Amino acid sequence: MKMQSEPKTSCKVSQMFLDIPSAAYQAGYSSKHFRRVLDEDRIPVLQIGQKFFILAHDFEQWKATYSEARLQRALDQIDKWIHESHQYATLYTQPKTDD
């Protein structure tokens, strides 16, 4: 008895394209913020009907190059804010004097 397997084109197609909410989730961003990332980092977007998609290859390439740089910039900015707030806190705190 010969079994015929149906082609898994829909599986291959779904692996080739990522819709924006799925890609945003995988990247760790909200959909709204990830749309801004797509624009800023010039990731090609494909529109099919009313939905927008990115190629899985482009997403993987972005993760390998830009995502770590974005994370590092965010961490640097947080460090800067902490350092600045610490400087302001030391300016406004006076040592207690016992009179």
Specify if 6 maps to a domain.
no
Domain count within the chain: 1
pLDDT at 83: 81
Can you give the residue range of the structural domain that contains 88?
15-92
Query: Model confidence over 35-86: pLDDT tens digits?
Result: 998 998 899 999 999 999 999 999 998 888 877 777 777 788 888 888 877 7
pLDDT at 21: 94
Specify if 61 maps to a domain.
yes
Specify if 24 maps to a domain.
yes
Helix 20-27 and helix 31-40: axis angle, to 10°? 90
pLDDT at 96: 62
Give pTM, 2 decimals. Answer: 0.56
Q: What is the CATH number of the domain that holds 42?
A: 1.10.1660
Specify if 3 maps to a domain.
no
Triad 64, 65, 69: Cα angle to 5°: 115
Specify if 27 maps to a domain.
yes
Specify if 5 maps to a domain.
no
Q: Which residue has the tokens 């910039």?
A: 73
Specify if 74 maps to a domain.
yes
Query: Model confidence over 9-37: pLDDT tens digits?
Result: 445 545 789 999 999 998 888 999 999 98
pLDDT at 52: 93
- Other C-beta atoms closer than 10 Å to the C-beta of 58 total 17
Sign, CA torsion 5/10/11/12: positive
pLDDT at 28: 84
Query: What is the distance, to the nearest Å, from the Cα of residue 87 to the centroid of all Cα atoms in its chain?
Result: 31
Specify if 53 maps to a domain.
yes
pLDDT at 95: 61
